C-alpha cells in the first residue's frame, strides 16, 4: 500500500508589487532584481489577509475530502499566536471534522517537509484517513533592505492519503542540522533579521551535506532526476543550488559535463516563485505545484528531487515519483487565474500596507475591506482575531 500526495493547491494574495517599480523607488538597477536575484513581482498581503486566510483559501478546493481529514499540520514561521495553532482557525473556517488533531510546526522554511513525512507515516498506519498539510507564510524584511525584493506571500495545501494521485515519496532522505544564525525573527519583531550572504553560504553548505547523505543511501546521480525542486527564497538561489550539485556530480564522474541542464531540470518549477517572491515554508511546494502545472510537460512516472531548507538551520534532500494520470488531479487553471488577476500596488501603497501592523492593545479594531480570497481577517476584539467568510 502506498501513501503520498493526493492533491496540492496553491494560493497567493490578490495584490502585488512589480519589482521594476521597487527598483526605481530604491534607486536600484532593475536588472539586479530581475537577473541578479531572479525575481519580477512580489505578492503583497493586505491587512485583512494573513497566514490563516491564505491557508484556508489554499485548502478550500479540497472541500470534497474534508470529512476524511483527521490531522491538520500547519507549517509557518509567521505565527500569529504564542499558544494556539493557526490551524485551529482554519479548522473552524473550513468546518473540518471534530475528530481531528491540529498542530502548528515551526522551523523556518523547513517545517512543511517534516509535516509531509509525518503525515505520510500516519496515513500509512491508518489508511482510511487523510492528513492535511498547510504551509503558509508572509516574508517580511525591513523596507529598503537588500532582502526587500525577495519578500512575498502565499500558501500551499497538500492532501496526504493512500491515493497518491500526484506523488509518492522515496524512502531515501539526506538530512542536516546545525545551530547557526543566518536568518531569524525574535518574538518582538515583525520583520526577519538576516545575514544575507551568510544565509546563502549556509544554504549551499546544507545542500552539500544532505546530498552526500542522500547519495550514501541511493545510487541516483543528478542526471537520474527529470526535475529538481529547491527551496526558493529567490530563483537565482535555485540556480546556485543546482550549479553546486552539477559540480559535485562532475567531481564524482570525473567529467566536466552533466547530461541535463538548468533549463530542463529546474526552470519549469520556478515561474510561480518569480511572480510571488519567497513564500518561506510554502516555497518548495509552490515550486512543485508550478512544475506540475506546466501544460507542455508530461510528468507521468518522472523522478523529482527536492531540497528543503530552513534557516537556523535544518535541511533535507529527498525524492519522489510523479503518479501516472496526475494531470487529472491538478488545480492549474485556478493557480494561473490567481497569478494573472492581481491588483498592482504603487510603491507608496505597498509601503502604507506594510506599515499597517495588527494593533497590539487587544481592543476592538476592524480592518478596511481589501481584495482577499474566500476568507478575511476582519479585525480584533478582546484580544481575539476575528475571521469571516467573504
Ligand atoms: P544584495 O547583497 O543586495 O545583492 O542582496 P548582491 O549585491 O549580492 O547581488 C545579488 C546578485 O545580483 C549578485 O549575483 C550580483 O552579481 C547580481 P550573484 O553573484 O549572487 O550571482 N547583480 C546584478 N545582476 C545583473 N545586473 C545588475 C546587477 N547588480 C548586481 N545590475 C541577498 C542579495 C540574497 C543577500 C539579499 O536579497 C538577502 O539578504 N535576501 C534574504 C536572505 C535570503 O533569501 N537568503 C537565501 C538563503 S537562506 C534561505 O533560503 C532561507 C529563507 O528562505 C528563510 C527561512 O528559511 O525561513 C530566507
19-74, pLDDT tens digit by residue? 999 999 999 999 999 999 999 999 999 999 999 999 999 999 999 999 999 999 99
Least confident residue range of 198-202, 303-307, 360-364, 381-385: 360-364
- DSSP reduced 3-state for 352: helix
Domain range summary for the chain, segments of one domain joined by +: 4-389
Contacts of 180 (CB under 8 A, 6+ apart): 198, 202, 311, 312, 313
Is residue 152 in contact with ligand 1, taking CB distance under 6 Å?
Answer: no
The angle at the Cα of 388, spanning 354 to 345, to the nearest 5 degrees, equals: 30
| CB 47, CB 378: distance < 8 Å | no
Is residue 147 in contact with ligand 1, taking CB distance under 6 Å?
Answer: yes
Q: How far is the CA of 192 from the centre of ligand 1 (A)?
A: 15
Classify domain 4-389 at the CATH topology level: Peroxisomal Thiolase; Chain A, domain 1 (3.40.47)
| pLDDT grade for 1, boundaries at 50, 70 and 90 | low
Q: What is the separation of C-alpha 103 from the centre of its chain, rounded to a whole number of angstroms? A: 18
Is residue 76 in contact with ligand 1, taking CB distance under 6 Å?
Answer: no
Q: Which of 148, 83, 87 is nearest to 112 (CA)?
A: 87
Whether the pLDDT of residue 182 is over 70: the answer is: yes
Is residue 312 in contact with ligand 1, taking CB distance under 6 Å?
Answer: no
**The predicted structure's pLDDT at residue 138:** 98
63 is known as an active-site residue: no
Q: Which residue owns the Cα nearest ligand 1 atom 38? A: 147
Q: How many CA atoms lie within 13 A of 129 on its CB side?
A: 18
Mutate to test the pocket of ligand 1, among 200, 229, 244 (most ligand atoms within 8 A of CB): 200
Q: What is the separation of C-alpha 155 from the centre of its chain, rounded to a whole number of angstroms? A: 6
Is residue 311 in contact with ligand 1, taking CB distance under 6 Å?
Answer: yes
Rounded Cα gap, residues 78 and 85, in angstroms: 12
Listing from the earlier edge strand, what are the strands of the sheet with 375-381? 365-366, 375-381, 384-389
Once rounded to an integer, what is the mean pLDDT over residues 136-152?
A: 98
Mutate to test the pocket of ligand 1, among 196, 198, 236, 314 (most ligand atoms within 8 A of CB): 196
| CB 38, CB 234: distance < 8 Å | yes
109 is known as an active-site residue: yes
Rounded Cα gap, residues 3 and 166, in angstroms: 10
List 91, 109, 165, 335, catalytic entry: 109
Amino acid at each position: 500500500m502506498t501513501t503520498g500526495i493526493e492533491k496540492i493547491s496553491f494560493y497567493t494574495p490578490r495584490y502585488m508589487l512589480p519589482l521594476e517599480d521597487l527598483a526605481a523607488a530604491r534607486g536600484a538597477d532593475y536588472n539586479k532584481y530581475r537577473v541578479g536575484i531572479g525575481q519580477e513581482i512580489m505578492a503583497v498581503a493586505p491587512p485583512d489577509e494573513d497566514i490563516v486566510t491564505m491557508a484556508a483559501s489554499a485548502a478550500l478546493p479540497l472541500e470534497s475530502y474534508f470529512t476524511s481529514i483527521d490531522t491538520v499540520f500547519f507549517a509557518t514561521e509567521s505565527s500569529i499566536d504564542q499558544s494556539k495553532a493557526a490551524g485551529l482557525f482554519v479548522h473552524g473556517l473550513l468546518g473540518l471534522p471534530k475528530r481531528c488533531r491540529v498542530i502548528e510546526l515551526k522551523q523556518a522554511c523547513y517545517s512543511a517537509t517534516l509535516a509531509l513525512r509525518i503525515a505520510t507515516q500516519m496515513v500509512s498506519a491508518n489508511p482510511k484517513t487523510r492528513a492535511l498539510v498547510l504551509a503558509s507564510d508572509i516574508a517580511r524584511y525591513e523596507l529598503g533592505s537588500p532582502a526587500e525584493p525577495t519578500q512575498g506571500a502565499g500558501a500551499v495545501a497538500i492532501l496526504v492519503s493512500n491515493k497518491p494521485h500526484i506523488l509518492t515519496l522515496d524512502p531515501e532522505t539526506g538530512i542536516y542540522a546545525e545551530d547557526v544564525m543566518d536568518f531569524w525573527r525574535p518574538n518582538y519583531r515583525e520583520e526577519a533579521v538576516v545575514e544575507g550572504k551568510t544565509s546563502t553560504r549556509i544554504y549551499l553548505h546544507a545542500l552539500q551535506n544532505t546530498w552526500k547523505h542522500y547519495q550514501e543511501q541511493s545510487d541516483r546521480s543528478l542526471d537520474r532526476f527529470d526535475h529538481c525542486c529547491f527551496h526558493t527564497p529567490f530563483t537565482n538561489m535555485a540556480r546556485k543550488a543546482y550549479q553546486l550539485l552539477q559540480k559535485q556530480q562532475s567531481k564524482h564522474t570525473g567529467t566536466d559535463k552533466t547530461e541535463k541542464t538548468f533549463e530542463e531540470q529546474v526552470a519549469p518549477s520556478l515561474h510561480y516563485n518569480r511572480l510571488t517572491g519567497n513564500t518561506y515554508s510554502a516555497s518548495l511546494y509552490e515550486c512543485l505545484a508550478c512544475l506540475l502545472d506546466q501544460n507542455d510537460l508530461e510528468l507521468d512516472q518522472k523522478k523529482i528531487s527536492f531540497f528543503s531548507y530552513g534557516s537556523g538551520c535544518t535541511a533535507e534532500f529527498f525524492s519522489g515519483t510523479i503518479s501516472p494520470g496526475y494531470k487529472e488531479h491538478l488545480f492549474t487553471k485556478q493557480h494561473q487565474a490567481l497569478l494573472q488577476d492581481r491588483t498592482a500596488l504603487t510603491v507608496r501603497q505597498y509601503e502604507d500596507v506594510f506599515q499597517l501592523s495588527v494593533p497590539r492593545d487587544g481592543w476592538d479594531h476592524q480592518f478596511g475591506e481589501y481584495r482577499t480570497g474566500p476568507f478575511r481577517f476582519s479585525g480584533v476584539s478582546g484580544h481575539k482575531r476575528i475571521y469571516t467568510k467573504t
